[in-house]
Every structure is written in C-alpha cells, then in structure tokens.
Amino acid sequence: MSSSHGIAIALFCIAFLLGGISVSHAQLSSTYYDETCPNVTSIIRGVIDNALLSDPRIGASLLRLHFHDCFVNGCDGSILLNNSDTIESEKEAARNNNSVRGFGVVDDIKTALESACPSIVSCADILTIAAEESVSAAGGPSWTVLLGRRDGTTANRTGADISLPSAVDTLDTLKEVFLAVGLNTTDLVSLSGAHTFGRAQCPTFSGRLYDFNSTGSPDDTLNSTYLETLQGICPQNGNETGLANLDLTTPDTFDNNYFSNLQLENGLLQTDQELFSTTGADTIDIVNSFSSDQSAFFASFVESMLKMGNISVLTGSEGEVRLNCGIVNADSSRSESFLHSSTETRDNTEYKSAI
Ligand code: HEM
C-alpha cells in the first residue's frame, strides 16, 4: 500500500474514533418521491437520453460521478459543489480535476426537476438515479434505487485526495480503500466492472506502456497487440491528450466483456488488470465467474451499487435539498461572482502529476 494511503487511512480511523465523522443510519426508500415527484426517473432519463445523442460517453461519466460522490463524505452530492468562500471543492481535488465530467448534464437534470417539482429532489439522489439510468441505457441491468438522500453543505477536498483510488494502486491498497467505506472484495470486482464503458486519458495508463515501474519495459501483464494499440494512442514523450476506451471490445455497452478482456490481458488500467493478474489473488475466481456469467455479474453489480449508494447518507432533517447542485443554499442568495466554478478543460500535465 502506498504510504500516502496508509497515513490517510490511519487518519481516517483516528477521526472516526474521535467521533469526528458521523455515520448516519440510512432510511432510504424506493417510494420516496412517489407523491412529491412521481416522474423523477423519467425526467432524469429524458435528459440523459438527449445528452447521449451527442456524447456517447456521458452515461459512464455520470456513473463515475456517483462513485466519486459516495466515496468522499458519503453520497451527499458534495462532488458537485463549486469553490466558494466557504467551499473548497472536491471536483478540483487531484483525482477529480480535469477528469470527472458530466456537471453540465447534472445541471440540466436539476433545472428540469426544479421546474417539475421545485425543491424536492436532492442532488445526491439525482446522481444515484442518473447512475442507474445510465447503466440501463447502455444495456446493463436496471434496478430499484433507494432514495431520500439529502445534500451536504460542505465539501471535503482532502477527503477526496485520501478516499478515491488511484489507477496505480496495488490490489491490497484497492481493497483497503474499498473496505474503508464498507465495501468488500466482491464489491471491488463487481464495481470495477463499471469500466465496461467510458474512456480514460493517457496519463492514467501510459506508465504501463514504455517504462513500467522503472523496468525499462512495458507492463508484462499487457497483451502485446493491445500494447501496440495503446502506444499509438499515447506516443512516448507525446502530449498525453489521447483517450482510450476502457473496454476495447464493446466501448459503449454495459456488459461483462470487461472481465473477458482481463482474462486476455486487455485491461486498460493497471488496477483493472491486477484483479486478474495478481498471483494468487482471491479476485481471480470472481473475474472468471463474472466473465462466464453475465447475469451473475449484473446481480452482483446491482447489489454493490446499492451498498455504495448507502454510504454515509444524510436523511430526514440532515443537510438540505440544494436548489443549485453547485451551490449550498445559504450561498444561493449571494452574488455568484465569488464562485470559481471548475471547468472541464483538459490539462494533462497537471492531471498526470495526480495519478
Ligand atoms: C477500483 C478502483 C478504481 C480506479 C483506480 C478507477 C480509476 C479510473 C480512472 C483513472 C479512470 C479514467 C479517468 C480519466 O482518464 O480522466 C476511470 C474512469 C471511469 N471509472 Fe473508474 N476507477 C475505479 C473504480 C470505479 C468504480 C467503482 C466505478 C463505478 C462504479 C468506476 C467508474 C468509472 C467509469 C464509468 C469511468 C469512465 C468515465 C468517463 O468516460 O467519463 N470506476 N476510473
């Protein structure tokens, strides 16, 4: 495990023991908006379907937003908050900046919902529903989500640096990062199956292509044909602006090909391939079973998504329902000129230093 993660997890545990981090008991319900916003799911699905027409990647990006929200301060919509006088945004934390995307679509969803049922649907629940709808729109499972999350009024940039996994973490570190939020090894493997769609930028995997771990050679768990393809996308000493599909076989479809890719050493990220190529790892059998049985993968993915969506949620009178997903309500009435909204521009030099 990397020393930064080790220290981070130790600090998390100390903070937990001192009571600095509260774990709320979820009281989510599948019928939460039945009376107050009965069309919430179809409204969200409509915005996503429309966005998919011009951006086939957007579903993957929305699923990732939910993941990065839930792993930091729980599923409280904190990833959506912009910098302000009181907020140090998570979206500009090293592992999010110039990487997570989809904020504009979340804003479009929020606008549509504020028009249909004002002040009712939290931004945290929008991310939850958008994740499920994005998966089903791409051919994956659909499931009944639990709702009633409230939005947090703070962001935690340091938490984002600590709690989000890195693409170069070892398998042991990945397990620890997941365990820190109550997710086990099966959850790690099934949720990694989200890399069945979406893209990754060169800096997240180019360390494998030429001089892996200062060996002077590529990662030897990378299929040689695939290696050549990836070297074409990210030339040595190039500008690293290339994008690769996380799933080389069916890039925009949510299926179990991610797992058969791993069996052929066609995993894109180091952390993907480690699930299958780490000698003696207990994840290998899970990869094999998901590869041979898509229904088993889907069932496990749904179960793990429900667990992830339950991480430290705010319910009842905790938090608030934000009116604008990027701004806490107390700041909404103030001039927006003090906001320093993050953009989705790409500066790979900066992102590379964060991998
Ligand atoms: C196991 C640890 C994980 C690591 C190390 C990891 C790392 C990454 C990285 C580095 C990227 C590419 C980002 C970029 O190039 O800007 C990515 C993309 C993505 N990740 Fe993960 N991830 C992990 C787990 C997950 C989980 C649990 C989910 C969801 C349940 C997820 C969903 C996605 C999706 C859908 C994309 C593509 C996003 C897009 O195209 O915009 N990942 N991930």
Stretch 127-142: mean pLDDT: 98
Cβ neighbours for 126, distance < 8 A, ≥ 6 positions apart: 44, 77, 106, 109, 110, 113, 325
Summarize pLDDT for 263-274 with one digit per residue, the tens. Answer: 999 999 999 999
Assess whether pLDDT exceeds 60 at residue 346. Answer: no
Ligand 1 atom at shortest distance from the alpha carbon of 200: 15
Going by pLDDT thresholds of 50, 70 and 90, the confidence category of residue 23 is: very low
Which of 21-25, 246-250, 257-261 shows the lowest mean pLDDT across its residues?
21-25
Ligand 1 atom at shortest distance from the alpha carbon of 203: 15
Going by pLDDT thresholds of 50, 70 and 90, the confidence category of residue 239 is: very high
Q: Which long-range contacts (CB under 8 A, 24 or more apart) does 244-251 make?
A: 244/199, 244/200, 244/202, 244/205, 244/268, 245/198, 245/199, 246/60, 246/195, 246/196, 246/197, 246/198, 246/199, 246/200, 246/272, 247/195, 247/196, 247/197, 250/196, 250/197, 251/197, 251/199
CA distance 45 to 48: 5
Tokens, residue 251: 């890039």
Percent of the chain with pLDDT strictly greater than 70: 86
Which of 136-145, 223-232, 328-337 shows the lowest mean pLDDT across its residues?
328-337
Tell me, using a 6 A CB cutoff, whether residue 63 lines ligand 1.
Answer: yes
CA distance 41 to 112: 12
- Phi first, then psi: give them for residue 201, nearest 5 degrees: -85, 150
Q: Side chain identity at 83, as an amino acid letter?
A: N
The string of DSSP codes covering 174-242 is HHHHHHTTT--HHHHHHHHGGGGS-EEEGGGTGGGTSSGGGSSS--TTS-HHHHHHHHHHS-TTS----
Stretch 59-75: mean pLDDT: 98
pLDDT at 10: 47
Assess whether pLDDT exceeds 70 at residue 129. Answer: yes
Tokens, residue 8: 């981070």
Percent of the chain with pLDDT strictly greater than 90: 85
CA distance 233 to 205: 11
25 is catalytic: no
Tokens, residue 310: 């339950």
Question: Annotated binding residue at 195?
Answer: yes
Tokens, residue 329: 């309500």
Q: Which of 224, 293, 294, 223 is nearest to 262 (CA)?
A: 223
Name the 3-class secondary structure at 109: helix
pLDDT at 337: 37
Helices (H) and strands (E) in the chain, counts: 15, 2
Assess whether pLDDT exceeds 80 at residue 63. Answer: yes
Stretch 285-304: mean pLDDT: 98
Stretch 30-45: mean pLDDT: 98
pLDDT at 196: 98
Distance 34 CA to ligand 1 centre (A): 32
Indicate the average pLDDT of the chain.
Answer: 90
Residue that has been written with the tokens 């393809």 in this structure: 229
Stretch 171-175: mean pLDDT: 98
Tell me, using a 6 A CB cutoff, whether residue 270 lines ligand 1.
Answer: no
Tell me, using a 6 A CB cutoff, whether residue 174 lines ligand 1.
Answer: yes
Distance 193 CA to ligand 1 centre (A): 10
Going by pLDDT thresholds of 50, 70 and 90, the confidence category of residue 27 is: confident
Going by pLDDT thresholds of 50, 70 and 90, the confidence category of residue 351 is: low
Question: Annotated binding residue at 108?
Answer: no
Identify the structural domains of the chain with CATH numbers, from first to last. Answer: 25-164+311-346 (1.10.520.10), 183-307 (1.10.420.10)
CB-neighbour burial class of residue 232 (10 A; exposed 0-12, middle 13-18, buried 19+): exposed
Report the residue among 55, 64, 170, 268 best suited for mutation to probe ligand 1: largest number of ligand atoms under 8 A from its CB. Answer: 64
Tell me, using a 6 A CB cutoff, whether residue 95 lines ligand 1.
Answer: no
Tell me, using a 6 A CB cutoff, whether residue 61 lines ligand 1.
Answer: yes
CA distance 170 to 40: 40
Report the residue among 175, 195, 300 best suited for mutation to probe ligand 1: largest number of ligand atoms under 8 A from its CB. Answer: 195
Going by pLDDT thresholds of 50, 70 and 90, the confidence category of residue 352 is: low
pLDDT at 343: 42
Contact yes or no for 170/225 (Cβ under 8 A): no
pLDDT at 332: 82
Number of Cβ within a 10 Å radius of residue 105:
24
Going by pLDDT thresholds of 50, 70 and 90, the confidence category of residue 25 is: very low
CA distance 51 to 66: 17
Stretch 14-27: mean pLDDT: 45
Question: Annotated binding residue at 252?
Answer: no
Question: Annotated binding residue at 72?
Answer: yes
Assess whether pLDDT exceeds 50 at residue 355. Answer: yes
Question: Annotated binding residue at 90?
Answer: yes
Stretch 86-103: mean pLDDT: 96
Which of 8-17, 176-185, 228-237, 332-341 shows the lowest mean pLDDT across its residues?
8-17
Q: Whose CA is nearest to atom 7 of ligand 1?
A: 167
Assess whether pLDDT exceeds 50 at residue 342. Answer: no
Going by pLDDT thresholds of 50, 70 and 90, the confidence category of residue 312 is: very high
- Phi first, then psi: give them for residue 9, nearest 5 degrees: -70, -35
